[in-house]
Amino acid sequence: MPGRRVMSERFEETRSVSDVAADWLVAHDRGLTQAERVDFEVWLAGPSTNAEEWRMASLMWGSFDDEPDELLASFRAEALSARPSRTRRIPAWATAAAAVVALTVGIGSWGLIAPRTGTSVDMAAVARTYSGGQSPSEVTLADGSRVMLDVGSRITVRETDARRDVALEIGRAFFKVAHDPSRPFVVASADRTVTATGTAFEVAREGSGLRVILEEGRVRIDATGNPADRANLVPGQEYWVKPGSKAEIRSVDAAEALNWRDGFISLHDITVREVLAMMDRGKPPHVVVTDPAAGDLRVSGRFRANDSEAFAKTLGLMYPVRIARSPSGQTTISSITAAKRRRSPE
């Protein structure tokens, strides 16, 4: 990717935004210099069409990693093989190859994520927020890291020359971190921070608790304001903590625990109320709990993600609860005791 002076000249050329986005994709896949990273953030913070083109292009380019088509593979390999000099822009054929990949990788392969610029703008570290769509959705960050967001989840990302900061505000996200030991990748959520340099892991807010699962590499977890409260994970471990409780670390089958990426979720000892909040996150609730006893039941198991109706039916077969339909059309869950009490005469 050309340096700053050449980038300024390119913006003056009559080139489409999609062409420039394709150039940036090729450069990200190789790795940006510090100067290029700043140029990219400035471009991304420009007209809204820049962010939109980058979003669409990065989704398609990222999804290509799992695309078996050999012709598409050759397009991407060809684009990446043309490393431009510092004094000339990426050849037109390389941009075209990236564009062919973006157009050919099937629209609909990924859910869409809507980025928006934060209100506080530092040209060296633009804060950007990404929200999950109606299905698990992936986005490529400025440093080349990839993030899979669950339905209704939201993160805010801020990158500087010294570090990469992500705030998980709601939901869960799986991070495939681009290796850069000089810039730690730090995810903050609840009262914990998870630090990595190049690894793959999940951070999830489940009800009032926080869960971290490490698939590969290493991460360090720190409690805010308590330097002594620190944990280090190795692949195949899960970290789980709830307010007022001591953190637990246990071995898990990472592939099974992370199967929400394929439409399932694995739950461990959380309440029915918390499960429903996760499944109906970002949309009107389909299932409601009508009494505390039913909502406080604790469950574990593997369920289809975002299908609270199926969860309620399964719950009715396994636990002492009554499943019914309210006049408004919502499914209700109540404890057997509460249901009997409501039917009893005054």
Residues 260-313 pLDDT 10s: 888 787 777 888 988 888 787 767 778 989 888 888 999 888 888 778 888 888
- Percentages (nearest 5) of helix, strand, coil residues in the chain: 35, 35, 35
d(C-alpha 290, C-alpha 17), whole Å: 52
Both 226 and 141 in a single domain? yes
Both 119 and 252 in a single domain? yes
Both 141 and 118 in a single domain? yes
Classify residue 88 as exposed, middle or buried by CB count within 10 Å of its CB (0-12, 13-18, 19+).
Answer: exposed
Indicate the pLDDT class of residue 60, thresholds 50, 70 and 90: low
Judge contact between 109 and 63, C-beta under 8 A: yes
Domain count, the chain: 3
Cα separations in angstroms, 225 against 222, 230, 238, 312: 9, 11, 22, 40
Both 49 and 159 in a single domain? no
Percentage of the chain exceeding pLDDT 70: 71
CA atoms within 13 A on the CB side of 88: 7
pLDDT at residue 99, rounded to an integer: 43
Indicate the residue among 227, 242, 262 that finishes a domain.
Answer: 262
What is the residue range of 311's domain? 263-343
Number of H helices, E strands in the chain: 11, 20
Higher-pLDDT residue of 127, 92:
127
pLDDT at residue 82, rounded to an integer: 47
Both 163 and 24 in a single domain? no
Both 119 and 244 in a single domain? yes
d(C-alpha 101, C-alpha 312), whole Å: 42
Each residue's pLDDT tens digit, 204-243: 997 778 999 999 999 999 998 888 889 999 999 999 998 8
Indicate the residue among 77, 107, 137 that finishes a domain.
Answer: 107
Both 90 and 122 in a single domain? no
Both 40 and 96 in a single domain? yes
209, containing H or E segment: strand 209-216
Judge contact between 103 and 50, C-beta under 8 A: no
Each residue's pLDDT tens digit, 65-78: 444 444 445 445 54
pTM of the model: 0.54
pLDDT at residue 121, rounded to an integer: 37
d(C-alpha 300, C-alpha 309), whole Å: 17
CA angle 234, 176, 249 (to 5 degrees): 25
Both 120 and 252 in a single domain? yes
Indicate the pLDDT class of residue 15, thresholds 50, 70 and 90: low
Query: Worst-scoring range by mean pLDDT, 23-32, 126-135, 151-160, 239-248?
Result: 23-32
Q: Where residue 117 sits, what CATH number does that domain have?
A: 2.60.120.1440
Query: Worst-scoring range by mean pLDDT, 85-99, 138-152, 313-327?
Result: 85-99
- Token pair of 233, please? 């994970």
Indicate the residue among 90, 107, 124 that finishes a domain.
Answer: 107
What's the whole-number average pLDDT of the chain?
75
Both 192 and 256 in a single domain? yes
Q: Is the pLDDT of residue 86 over 70?
A: no
Q: Where residue 327 sits, what CATH number does that domain have?
A: 3.55.50.30
Both 188 and 134 in a single domain? yes
pLDDT at residue 88, rounded to an integer: 39
Percentage of the chain exceeding pLDDT 90: 26
Q: Is the pLDDT of residue 198 over 90?
A: no
Q: Is the pLDDT of residue 175 over 80?
A: yes
Indicate the pLDDT class of residue 186, thresholds 50, 70 and 90: very high
- Residue 189 zone, left/alpha/beta (φ > 0; ψ -120 to 50; rest): beta
d(C-alpha 296, C-alpha 129), whole Å: 33
Residue 84 contacts by C-beta under 8 Å, 6 or more apart in sequence? 1, 2, 90, 91
Both 273 and 233 in a single domain? no
6, containing H or E segment: helix 4-12
At 30 the three-state DSSP class reads: helix
Tell me which range, 95-99, 108-112, 152-156, is most confidently predicted by mean pLDDT. 152-156
Nearest to 123 by CA among 159, 157, 156: 159
At 53 the three-state DSSP class reads: helix
